[in-house]
Amino acid sequence: MSLPSKASKKAFVQEKFTSVTPRYDLLNTMLSLYIDHYWRFLTASLLRGCDSPILDICAGTLPLSREIVRQKKRTVVALDFCFDMLEYGMKRLGQHKNGHCILPVCGDGEALPLPDETFSGFSVAFGIRNLSNLTKGLDEMYRVLKPGGIAAILEFSRPSNPVFAPVYRFYLHRILPVLGGMISGDKEAYRYLAESIDGFYSQEEICNMMREAGFKDVSYRPLTMGIVTLYSGHRP
């Protein structure tokens, strides 16, 4: 499968997430053996010192937004351009601790319908890889953060360990599309996941792009053998 062009990526991504919505959370947890909860816990922890409001983009079914309000009661604006994902997440908020503090917004992460210098913290989990223009996305993140605000970005990356890397690649390209396809009914969505991880920027490139957007003290921390990486920076 070849990756969608920049021009067609938005429509492709929107369609794929709409199609996997009802199975998204289950698949995440199954395919990561529940480790995704730990990754989001660490991401939300970076924002523990931030007051209201916090912006979580590419929020999907709200797993990271929920973790942020669970750790500390604050207002979280949860933005995604896939209405079905947000709606599904909101319906399942139920009795979740501080769930009422989450405000869903259907909008584009590359053109945020939000004013400048509004948020004390910003987060995005497994979203930047799906943007059609990461530079635009990072500029928008920077624009809406208040001076002193913190950005926490969680994204898949490629393990560098020479023993583990080929094992992981085999899982990503051979096992994940089959399992993900069987459970979600959309094999192409999981082929896209594998291809988009392979074709994405390196950790150093992402840090440089964050610096170019204006972020300071940019750093990254590989997690779980480098399967994912947690990036952080702040607006001076």
Ligand X SMILES: C[S@@+](CC[C@H](N)C(=O)[O-])C[C@H]1O[C@@H](n2cnc3c(N)ncnc32)[C@H](O)[C@@H]1O
Contact call for residue 104 and ligand X (CB under 6 A): no
* CA–CA dist 230, 43 (Å, integer): 7
* CA–CA dist 133, 131 (Å, integer): 5
Q: Which stretch binds ligand X (CB under 6 A): 78-86, 96-104, 157-165, 217-225?
A: 78-86
Chain centroid, CA 127 distance in Å? 3
Q: Which stretch binds ligand X (CB under 6 A): 44-52, 74-82, 174-182, 217-225?
A: 74-82
8 A C-beta contact, residue 227 and residue 159: yes
x/- mask, ligand X, residues 129-168, rule CB under 6 A, reads -xx-------------------------------------
Q: Given CA atoms 68, 74, 80, 84 in this order, what sign does their dihedral have?
A: positive
Q: 35 to 64, contacts with ligand X by CB under 6 A?
A: 57-60, 63-64
Contact call for residue 109 and ligand X (CB under 6 A): yes
Contact call for residue 125 and ligand X (CB under 6 A): yes
Of 212, 216, 214, the closest CA to residue 233 belongs to 216
Q: How many residues bind ligand X (CB under 6 A)?
A: 21
Within 10 angstroms of residue 46's Cβ, the number of other Cβ atoms is: 20
Residues that bind ligand X (CB under 6 A): 13, 17, 28, 57-60, 63-64, 80-82, 85, 108-110, 125-127, 130-131
